[in-house]
């Protein structure tokens, strides 16, 4: 149902999924958000008009006092002196756009109400079409804008950023940083006057990218404090910023970082920004659950049980041979693996990482009978088959690079710096795109590949399209999306994992096409606990690849017992990434027990609400998954450093139903606690308590060494009479 709201006298109230968004639309001005956050209930026109009046500040004596609140596209020509909304020009003119004469329409769409606003800048011949939506399944807010040039003079856009306001209680900022094998490290700071800007300019979000920018009430945690966050659904260059002005505005902005001349609009052409998403919550768990609900509500969300993966990378690296890999597949199937993924090293000439990217044909020297015998055995064992590709990359030492040097990005100084010995294939060349599609699709079809591990290791630097040298980064992202979509359309059921040296391409843009992300190349459970926790702000467990790695981590060289490695991998899309051919029988049997435990509980793990306790002592972690109906839960209590107090004290279990009773027991899928271990009394045979008592009183934490954990299984039972 559509509703015209042209008179604009009353703010628009979009309500869905527990979120209210109240938007002022008066005076032909651009939409201005008065409230974004908790549902306000039904409000009549009078209340909405008063809410608008109540939200207006006193106007000072400066002519350039910007009317509050600022529109979703802030404009210099209206007096805005902060981060610009649209930066563009026509050969040095038409550089201070002033969109106005806006008309508005509310569409009560099935996936949530959407305000569509169209505004014009008649002098400049520009039009802007906004969409601002509250999603019904999640209460997420999202917005985007399309700017159109209606004149014959080309209009160049340098940047286009939208803004979501946060209230003045949002006094602290949280964002994420990181590096290879240490993605998603949180950092916090006060929300001072100024701009806190996080940008990615490497053609993908990157390992160090913040993924989300959060502002919240002082001291907010997973379970407390109101928080608001923004995310850009885009896998290319981008900027997220938290801005506070002396005049009181606080907002979170997001937009694509455009390279010079990347967007030049001819007459009638438009540039549409990626979706800017906004989530809010009472604590980070609530904020994250909106993203999880959103992803889970989409028709393409993976709904079949997530098959346990056996990935060959850390098991054999480039040392491929049929006998070893067949034996690995057999050992994996015995342990319970359901999908065999052959990683890097299978294609023409690829013996190490110095050559052959781009030559996507099976190497006859290593695979004289092709991959078919391996695939046939994998299928006999009842497993799916997956194969590694790095479609956008090329080694200069490859047949592809020798035959088509013009398909390699070149900003005017040759192909540029190598990284991991590789360069980038420009998918903006139609022939390069077609070549790639044909090669990958041919293999997917002939081998019956179920799953592509889609890697992307090099950043895009001076990524110029040959022969003109114009930047091709934006088009590269669009073409990568197109390639994923067309491969999936040609091969229904094909799944894709987004990997970029680990977690370098984790965003809602790629997740339109990918079925899971690889959060990190680090399989060390000590690091994985944190990486998965913070990746989980956006990505639900079933979309995070979590593998049981080697006893001695290949990235950190710490050693951990199987139980800790397996427990930390249990929660996501489980995999094995270890050489099973060297594991002794006892280890193998324990691994099989962990995999069986995962399969028994994966329906819960992959559909429930993810919860984290806010614990005062930084030495401890408690996280879990609670069934949506609150009937059961699993938690893990972990010790990550030596605590200052001992015994550790009580832990409270979040997320349960206050009114129901639950049994709590420690479970040990791998190996039982050593005889004589010091255990709190309840841990010997469990305890039964109301959810309220578990939330408010808690239970004594198990006594553990560093990098050890205990799993808690919690099941609701009828209340004792
Ligand atoms: C980087 C990935 O992150 C790894 O998991 C592995 O696939 C290698 N590339 C293969 O070269």
Query: Per-residue b/e over 111-149, b at no fewer than 16 CB within 10 Å?
Result: ebbbbbbbbbbeebbbbbebbbbbbbbbbbbbbbbebbb
CA 501 / ligand 1 centre spacing (Å) = 6
- Homologous superfamily (CATH) for 610-717: Golgi alpha-mannosidase II (2.60.40.1180)
CA–CA gap between residue 100 and residue 607 (Å, rounded): 45
Q: Residues spanned by CATH 2.60.40.1180 within the chain?
A: 610-717
Instruction: Report CA Rg, the chain.
Output: 27
| Ligand 1 lined by 313 (C-beta under 6 Å) | yes
Closest CA to 280 of 38, 21, 15, 612: 38
Q: Indicate the top mutation candidate among 183, 313, 420 to test ligand 1's pocket, ranked by most ligand atoms within 8 A of CB.
A: 313
The annotated binding site for substrate is made up of: 180, 343-344, 420, 453-457, 499, 521
Q: Indicate the top mutation candidate among 353, 454, 501 to test ligand 1's pocket, ranked by most ligand atoms within 8 A of CB.
A: 501
- Which sign, positive or negative, has the C-alpha torsion 173, 177, 182, 184? positive
| Ligand 1 lined by 344 (C-beta under 6 Å) | yes
Identify the pLDDT of residue 3: 65
CA 117 / ligand 1 centre spacing (Å) = 44
Q: Residues spanned by CATH 2.70.98.60 within the chain?
A: 2-297
Atom of ligand 1 nearest to the CA of 502: 3
Identify the pLDDT of residue 185: 98
CA 314 / ligand 1 centre spacing (Å) = 9
Backbone angles phi, psi at 614, to 5 degrees: -90, 105
CATH level 3 topology of 2-297: Beta-galactosidase; Chain A, domain 5 (2.70.98)
Closest CA to 404 of 412, 413, 394, 389: 394
Identify the pLDDT of residue 186: 98
3-state SS, 189-245, equals EECCCEEEEEEECCCCCCCCCCCCEEEECCCCCCCCCEEEEEEECCCCCEEEEEEEC
Identify the pLDDT of residue 67: 59
- Give pTM, 2 decimals: 0.97
Q: Using an 8 Å Cβ cutoff, are 164 and 141 in contact?
A: yes
CA–CA gap between residue 71 and residue 33 (Å, rounded): 7
Atom of ligand 1 nearest to the CA of 388: 7
Identify the pLDDT of residue 66: 61
- Which sign, positive or negative, has the C-alpha torsion 296, 302, 304, 306? negative
Identify the pLDDT of residue 6: 46
Atom of ligand 1 nearest to the CA of 521: 3
| Ligand 1 lined by 343 (C-beta under 6 Å) | yes
CA 396 / ligand 1 centre spacing (Å) = 19
Identify the pLDDT of residue 665: 97
Catalytic residues: 455, 521
β-bridge partners, 347: 362
CA 350 / ligand 1 centre spacing (Å) = 14
CA–CA gap between residue 424 and residue 416 (Å, rounded): 10
Identify the pLDDT of residue 5: 59
| Positions in the chain whose pLDDT score sits under 50 | 6
**Biggest CA-to-CA distance, the chain:** 83
| Ligand 1 lined by 455 (C-beta under 6 Å) | yes
| Ligand 1 lined by 389 (C-beta under 6 Å) | no
| Closest C-alpha residue for ligand 1 atom 3 | 501
Identify the pLDDT of residue 50: 95
| Ligand 1 lined by 388 (C-beta under 6 Å) | yes
| Ligand 1 lined by 346 (C-beta under 6 Å) | no
Q: Using an 8 Å Cβ cutoff, are 372 and 447 in contact?
A: yes
């Amino acid at each position: 149902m559509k509703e015209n709201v042209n008179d604009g006298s009353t703010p628009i109230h979009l309500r869905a999924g527990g979120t209210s968004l109240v938007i002022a639309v008066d005076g032909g001005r651009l939409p201005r958000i008065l409230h974004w956050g908790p549902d306000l209930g039904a409000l009549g026109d009078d209340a909405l008009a008063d809410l608008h009046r109540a939200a207006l500040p006193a106007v000072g004596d400066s002519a350039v006092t910007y009317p509050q609140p600022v529109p979703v596209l802030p404009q210099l020509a209206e007096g805005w002196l902060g981060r610009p909304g649209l930066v563009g020009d026509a050969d040095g003119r038409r550089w201070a756009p002033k969109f106005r004469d806006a008309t508005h329409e509310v569409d009560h769409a099935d996936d949530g109400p959407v305000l569509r606003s169209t505004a014009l800048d008649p002098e400049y011949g520009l039009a802007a079409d906004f969409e601002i939506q509250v999603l019904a399944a999640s209460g997420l807010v999202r917005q985007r804008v399309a700017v159109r040039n209606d004149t014959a003079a080309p209009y160049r856009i340098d940047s286009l950023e939208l803004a979501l306001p946060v209230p003045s209680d949002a006094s602290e900022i949280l964002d994420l940083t990181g590096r290879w094998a240490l993605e998603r490290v949180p950092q916090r700071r006060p929300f001072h006057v100024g701009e806190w800007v996080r940008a990615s300019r490497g053609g993908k979000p990157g390992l160090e990218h913040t993924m989300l920018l959060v502002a919240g009430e002082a001291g907010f945690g997973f379970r407390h404090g109101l928080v608001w966050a923004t995310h850009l659904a885009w896998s290319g260059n981008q900027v997220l910023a938290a801005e506070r002005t002396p005049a009181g505005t606080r907002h979170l902005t997001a937009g694509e970082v455009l390279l010079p001349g990347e967007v030049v609009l001819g007459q009638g052409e438009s540039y549409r920004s990626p979706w800017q998403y906004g989530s809010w919550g009472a604590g980070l768990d609530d904020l994250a659950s909106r993203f999880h609900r959103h992803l889970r509500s989409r028709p393409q969300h993976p709904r079949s049980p997530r098959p346990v993966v056996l990935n060959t990378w850390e098991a054999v690296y480039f040392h491929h041979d049929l006998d070893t890999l067949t034996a690995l597949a057999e050992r994996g199937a015995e342990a319970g693996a359901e999908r065999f993924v052959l990683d890097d090293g299978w294609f023409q000439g690829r013996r190490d990482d110095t050559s052959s990217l781009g030559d996507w044909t099976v190497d006859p020297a290593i695979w004289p009978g092709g991959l078919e015998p391996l695939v046939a055995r994998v299928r006999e064992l009842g497993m799916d088959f997956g194969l590694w590709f790095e479609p956008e990359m090329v080694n200069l030492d490859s047949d592809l690079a020798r035959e088509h040097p013009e398909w390699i990005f070149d900003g005017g100084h040759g192909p540029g710096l190598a990284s991991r010995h590789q360069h980038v294939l420009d998918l903006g060349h139609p022939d390069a795109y077609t070549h790639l599609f044909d090669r990958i699709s041919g293999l997917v079809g002939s081998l019956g590949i179920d799953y592509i591990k889609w890697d992307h290791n090099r950043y895009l630097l001076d990524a110029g399209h040959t022969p003109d040298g114009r930047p091709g980064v934006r088009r590269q992202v669009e073409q990568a999306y197109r390639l994923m979509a067309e491969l999936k359309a040609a091969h229904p059921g094909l799944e894709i994992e987004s990997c970029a040296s680990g977690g370098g391409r984790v965003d809602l843009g790629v997740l339109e096409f990918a079925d899971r992300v690889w959060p990190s190349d680090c399989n060390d459970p000590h690091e994985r606990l944190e990486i998965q926790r913070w990746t989980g702000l956006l990505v639900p467990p079933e979309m995070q690849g979590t593998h049981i790695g080697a006893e001695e981590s290949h990235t950190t060289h710490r050693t951990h017992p199987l139980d800790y490695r397996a427990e930390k991998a249990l929660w996501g899309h489980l995999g094995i990434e270890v050489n099973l051919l060297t594991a002794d029988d006892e280890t193998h049997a324990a691994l099989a027990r962990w995999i069986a435990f995962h399969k028994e509980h994966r329906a819960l793990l992959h559909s429930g609400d993810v919860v984290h306790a806010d614990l005062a002592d930084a030495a401890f972690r408690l996280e879990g998954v609670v069934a949506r109906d609150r009937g059961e839960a699993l938690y893990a209590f972990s010790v990550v450093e030596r605590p200052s107090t001992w015994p550790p004290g009580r832990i409270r279990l979040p997320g349960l139903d206050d009114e129901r009773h639950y049994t709590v027991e420690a479970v040990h899928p791998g190996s039982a606690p050593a005889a004589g271990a010091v255990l709190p009394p309840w841990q010997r045979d469990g305890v039964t308590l109301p959810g309220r008592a578990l939330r408010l009183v808690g239970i004594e934490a198990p006594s553990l060494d560093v990098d050890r954990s205990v799993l808690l299984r919690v099941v609701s039972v009828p209340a004792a009479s």
